[in-house]
Structure formats: structure tokens, C-alpha cells
Chain A
Amino acid sequence: MKAWFNPQAIYVLWLREMKRYLRARSRIIGSLGMPFFFLIFLGTGFKQFRPAGVPDHVDYLQYLAPGMLAVVLQFGSMFTGMAILWDRQFGFLKEIMVAPVSRVAIVLGRTLGGMTTAFLQGVLFLAVACIAGLQLPGLSGWALVPLFMLLIAASFVNVGIAVASVMHDMQGFGLVMNFLMIPLFLLSGALFPIENFPEWVQVLALADPLLYGVDGMRFGLLGVSRFSPVLDGLILCAFCTALVITGAFLFSRVDVE
């Protein structure tokens, strides 16, 4: 039985991720800090000199919130990659790898686990952002936002899995975080519309999956967006599929040393 779909294994991998997440209070709170302070201080500080291209009727803090939500999801998802590296370092990866479970099922379990934790982080962030003054949208927005949240999470969980499959230590992972994740965040239009960039940077930004995530969630929360939310959704779906396949492929080639 070479079943890549192994519900019990997928479930228990997810369950383990949940348990570890719920036991790590400092991680839950710690990773909300940076985006929360960005939201508060940038949102209020730039109120007067709002970046060009932010629609006049939109308060800058409201404009910033979906961007910060995307960052929470992006970095929260990368955590799964780090968890794989920890598992390798503490030997638990061998225990997972020696079980009669296909690598695809392992990637699925971890992806679902990482998506859930990142999603929970996102929800917590939204709750905190409300305290900071974020206004919540009507019902239609509510349907849209979680969908984009999950797509962003699935994409970046698999970026993490891919990187962890290739890089074998924390330093390498840190390198990728700084040289890939930060640019993706800055290019995503989370802080200001990408029209403010020179033309060639705008082209780069169009290749950033996070751009479409931010745009879609901005539509959900504020009703303003650059592209139509359907287009955002489709493009993000395509990115997500490609990343899941890449993650699963690279992880399936990992050696247990």
C-alpha cells in the first residue's frame, strides 16, 4: 500500500504541530509583537504624510492592516520550515522518516499543521488590530479574508519546507529569511502601493505571491484593491500549487543521515 493519502498519519502530524504551538506561549505572543507595533506606530505616524496612491477616503492604519496581517501569516508559516530543522537537529525527523508513511503524506500533515497555526496567528493579530482601531468589514469581506489567509499560509509553509529540505542548518535558514522573506514583504505592497517603486522594481513585485494576498485581503477588509479579487485569488492559487509541489518534491529527496 503506497498510499500518499494517509489520513491518520496526516492527522497526527497536524495534531503534534497543534500541541507544540499551544505549549509555546512566548512564540504566540512574540511573533505578534513586530507587526502590531508596525501597525500602531506606522499607522498613526504616517497618518498625515500618507504614501502616494493610498485612496483619499482610506485611513492609513486601515490601509496598513491587511499588509501586516499578510506579514503575520508569512512569518508564521515559515515557522514550519524551522520546525523541520529543529526536528532534524533533535533527531525526531528520523522517527518520522522511518515510519511507513509516504513523504507526500508527511508534507501534507505538516502543511495543514503550519497553515492552522499561521491562521490562528492571523486571527489573533486581527483581534489585537481591532483594539488598535481596525474597523471590521461587512459579511462579504469575511468570506474573502480567511480564504486569502489560508492561501498565503499554504504557500509560505511550503517555501519553508522547501528551504528546510535544501538548507541543513539554522544559519542557512536565517539567510533565506533575511534575503528572501524581507524583500517579499517589502515588495508586496503591504506598506504602500507599489506604484511608488521605479518601474523595474514594480515588475519584480508582480512576481511576489504576497502582493496578491495583500491585495485580496485589502479588498476584503476595505473594499479597495489594485486587481479584482478573483484575479488575485486565481494567481495566488497558482503560486500556492506550484509551491506545494516544489515543497513536496524537495522534501521527498531529503536524506536521513
Chain B
Amino acid sequence: MIIVHHAGWHAFMEAIVTHELTKHYAAVTAVNKVSLRVMPGEVFGLLGPNGAGKTTFIKMLATLTTPSSGDAVVCGHRITQDRDAVRRCIGMVFQDPALDDRLTGRENLDFHARMYGMKRDDRMKRLTDVLELVGLAEKADVLVKQYSGGMKRRLEIARGLMHFPKVLFLDEPTLGLDPQTRYHIWEYIRQLNAREAVTVILTTHYMEEADALCSRIGIIDYGTVITVDTPAVLKNSIGHDIVTIEATHAELLRAALEKEPWIQSVTVSDSTIVAQVREAEQKVARAVFCAQEVGAQVRSITVRKPSLEDVFLHYTGKRLRDDALDIREQRRGGHP
């Protein structure tokens, strides 16, 4: 394994190490001093809203743009020094489609393999294998123009794997796909991670996706990675459960609950009260009691563990989904 020493930081075992990686554009700092480590075999997720800097971060690691400052080591190679070595050991699936739709699926893969200098026999064998992996063997000789959005995405994933990369970057791999296709793609990602021991870096703004796939998640906003940990630890770190109460006289009930010492915070909208409570199971009876005291009738109470959505809200103070997202998804879906 190659060791890189540089200004007091080093890469030994890691698939990726970044050191204060930064990218400024004219008006914005897209990525701001990001330092993190990804171990071989991990599925590492970057979770963040639109414009958080996910794509820019990945593009720097893939040597498609040069950092304004900072550096990173990918598979033992400095991104600022050894561009072609980095490129040979990574696979890339871009956020936006990047296929030649006048070629067939097989031809797209063959083009890629030759660009990466693969020998004829390796190429042939690998082509069959990756097509098999993403379930496109039967459609291999159809023009990509005639593929559905999900098939195109799978072909791109297959292509990213063609040249046996050690690290695979997936920039929003399931953006704009229907739920069923999304689950299939998750399945492929799990399989290739297990079968090929590929380290996967994926960006997403789907909570379920990060939760289902990633061994660790970095939450990124305004170019800064706020926190990195496993989904379970992140969820526990919030330290409270979420209790949702539907009741009459919601405003009265909220006022009553607010005075209780075991309530951490409480909000109300219409007739729904959302409270953050430690060890909520033991407190449900107390909540019902409070309701009776103020004369509110409880229609339902649910207790749930925090989701990544709550984690995200906790760390960034905002929800992930916004309107811009929907517009962009439609655009992607409508791509020819």
C-alpha cells in the first residue's frame, strides 16, 4: 500500500483521505475545508440538500476539477499530482446522464473499456459480467436511445464498474427514478459492494437511500461536512424520540405539555402536536393524563425513533426536500 505523507496528514489503509479540501467558485464556496476518511469496502454516503456541494466534492476527487486548496488521496494517489493514476482506479456515475444514445449498450461499455486500455479478452469477459450484474444482458444490443430511464442508470453503473475500479462514485444514483427501480438499484449497489469489494461513495438527498445503503453518512450543507457517523449512531445522537399526538384543543395541550420537565420541545400545527421526548414509551401515559386535565380528547398517539430526516433537521435546521428538487427531477425524467 502506498503511503503519502503531506503536511502532517497521511493515507495508509484508507480508500480516500481528504485534507481540508476546498473549492471556491466566483460567488460561492462550494466545498469548504472538508477532511474525512473512507475505508476500503465502505459504502459512504454524502447527504445534503441542493447546492450543498456534493457534486463538486466528488468532481474534485475524480480529478474533474482542481481544488482551490487542500488535497486528497484516492487509492494511494494524490489527486493534485497523479491525475491519471487516480482516474484508472475510480469509476464514476455522473449525476446527469452521460451515455451516447446513438450507440448500443454494449458499444457504450466497449468504448469505455478501450478508453481505459483494457485488453480484448478482459474486455469481453468483463462486459458480459457487468451486464449480467445489472440485468441488461438481453438489452445489450439495443440502441441506448430506446432504453428507459432506469435501464440507462443501470447501464451507467455497469460502465462505472467496467475497468475494475477500487472506488466507485455514484452521484445521486437514483434521482428521478420510480420507487421500484430505486430498490433494484440499491440491490445492485449492495451486490457489487459485496461481490467486488468496491468502495462506494454515493451522494443522495433521499434519507431512505442513505439509511438503506450506507455504512457511514456525512451530512453536508453549505459546503461543510457537519458530522460523519453510522446511521444508527446519528439517529441515537439526537437523544430523544418523537411523539406525535392528534387531539382536540391542541393549543391548550401544547401549553400544558410545555410545562412538563420531561418534554424537550413541542410544536403544534392544526390539531397535531409533535413533541421530542426521552424514553418516550414510558411517558405516553403521562401525556394522556395531561390531555385529560386540560379537557382535550386524544384521537391518536404515535411514538417513533428518530429518522435520518430528524437527524438532518437537527444538524442543519432544515428539511431536505424542497420545490427546486421536484423541478429538477422532472427535467431529468424528460431527458431524451
A: which residues have CB within 8 A of B? 1-2, 6, 8-9, 11-12, 15-16, 19-20, 23-24, 87, 90-92, 94-101, 255-256
Contact = CB atoms under 8 A, between A and B. Distances in A.
Given A12-B115, A99-B87, A100-B116, A94 B64 contact: yes
B165 to A, nearest CB: 11
B116 A91 contact: no
B333 interface: no
A94 B102 contact: no
Contacts, number: 75
Interface stretch (B38-46, B92-100, B309-317): B92-100
B84 A92 contact: no
Chain A binding surface SS class: helix
Contacts of B83: 100
A16 B87 contact: no
B172 to A, nearest CB: 13
Interface stretch (B2-10, B106-114, B296-304): B106-114
A6 B118 CA distance: 12
A97 B114 CA distance: 14
Contacts of A99: 87, 112, 115-116
A97 B107 contact: no
Interface of B: 59, 62-65, 83-85, 87-88, 92, 94, 96-103, 107, 110-112, 114-117, 159, 336
A225 to B, nearest CB: 40
Contacts of A20: 100, 102-103
B94 A94 contact: yes
A1 B62 contact: no
A101 to B, nearest CB: 6
Nearest to B118: A8
Nearest to B86: A100
Contact of B88 (A8, A100, A255): A100
A91 B94 contact: yes
A95 B101 CA distance: 13
B66 to A, nearest CB: 10
Contacts of A6: 117
B103 A19 contact: yes
Given A16-B103, A90-B98, A90-B101, 13 more contacts: A11-B114, A20-B103, A24-B102, A90-B99, A90-B100, A91-B96, A91-B97, A95-B94, A98-B62, A98-B92, A99-B112, A100-B84, A256-B64
Contact of B107 (A1, A9, A19, A95): A19
A228 to B, nearest CB: 43
Given A1-B84, A8-B114, A19-B107, A97 B64 contact: yes
Contacts of A15: 111
A94 B98 contact: yes
A255 B111 CA distance: 22
